Structure 1
Amino acid sequence: MTTWMDAPMERCFKLATSIDLHLASAAQTQESAIGGVTTGLIGEGEWVEWRGRHFGRWLTHTSKVEGWRPFSFFREVMTEGWFRRFEHEHHFAVMDDGTRMRDEIRFSASGMMSKIKEKIARRHLIGMLRRRNALIKRAAESEEWRRYLEASPAVSANPVRAVNETTARRWDKSVVGG
């Protein structure tokens, strides 16, 4: 899926790493982040455990950020969950008129009737991705992006490495004289 945005690539990338934006886009599935990075921005090597109502039941999905090239690419890989395999790649490119964000999802279902499960899951994932990308686009092209990115002081302090709030809480200002 490709989404075009009239906004800087760095902003679009950071919005795509926002746990809070993801939660806002997944309100209809009552999604919550229950483990790992649960708020702020997720970064390289970090993980998040999601819980939401999908296919009429409560499911959990844990993914880890394994690929990371700010501000052009990151990849999330499922470590635990409903799928046999699940990878989500996010690609960003500067274009003449803004930023192109391209999502690639690869997955396979497990168990009996896996092909039917995959067909149903594909439709469900496309709907979720459309809602998420529409919110990223709306936020990136307006002042709404500040709601997701200015809440974390680490965003402006270190633009290359998105630091989550857990890391920020562990930071001891007295060590660096701040």
Structure 2
Amino acid sequence: MSRFEVTTLVLAPPPIVFDASLSVDVHASSMRHSNEQAVAGVTSGQLALGDQVTWRARHFGLTWHLTSTISAYIRPTYFVDEQVSGPFQRWHHAHTFEAIHHDDIDATLMKDIVDFTAPAAPLGTIAEVLVLKRYMTKLILRRNAHIKEITETPLR
């Protein structure tokens, strides 16, 4: 199993950042480069506790489907999405949103903690270490940059 964490400072209050992070449309927009689309379950709007969404995306030249559920939800501070079915043996993504005051602005320290396991050990374990951890970290960084951009824009 691999784990990585990403922390992002967003100059917007936690409720705004939390809601953007649970928006199917915002997620799809942030992953345009991989043509990621919601194809089943909740396919637009806001996700809530117990909701499921199936994503179709293109990574490594292949089309993948991943169905996740929102398994924990405490607005506006915490939620978890977990894979129900898809390419990983395990995918658990915890999101936290901490209210902070930064340069006289109500801001959010957004933290992603991702635990995942690739299938097909031992080859999957090798791929996890050599490729997947770095690749998945870059995807989360891209997503967070998009969330930061759209939630901070009204403040500019």
TM-score over 0.5 (shorter chain): yes
Q: Residues of 2 paired with 1:27 and 1:127: CA distance?
A: 14
Cα distance, 1:143 vs. partner? 2.7
In structure 1, the gaps of 5 or more residues are: 145-178
SS of structure 1 residue aligned to 2:15: helix
Q: CA deviation at 1:115?
A: 1.6
In 1, Cα distance between the equivalents of 2:135 and 2:38?
19
Q: Which has the higher contact order (CA 8 A, sep 6+)?
A: 2
Quick one: distance in 2 between partners of 1:107 and 1:130? 16
Report Cα offsets for 1:17-38 as digits up to 9, x if no partner.
0111111111111111000111
- More strand by percentage: 2
Decide which of 96, 102, 116 is 1:91's aligned counterpart: 96
Q: Distance in 2 between matches of 1:80 and 1:125?
A: 17
Which residue number corresponds to residue 3 of structure 2?
Answer: none
- Aligned counterparts of 2:138 and 2:54: Cα–Cα separation in 1: 20
RMSD between superposed Cα atoms in Å: 1.2
**Number of the residue aligned with 2:139:** 128
1:51 aligns with 2:56: yes
> Secondary structure at the residue paired with 2:82?
strand
Deviation at 1:127, TM superposition (A): 1.2
Equivalent of 2:152 in 141, 149, 169: 141
Flag structure 2 segments of 5+ consecutive residues without an equivalent: 1-5
Q: Which runs of 4+ in 1 moved over 6 A?
A: none
1: distance between equivalents of 2:118 and 2:10?
32
Q: Structure 1 length as normaliser, TM-score?
A: 0.78
Tell me which of 28, 35, 43 is aligned to 1:30: 35
Which structure is larger by alpha-carbon Rg, 1 or 2? 1
Deviation at 1:6, TM superposition (A): 1.1
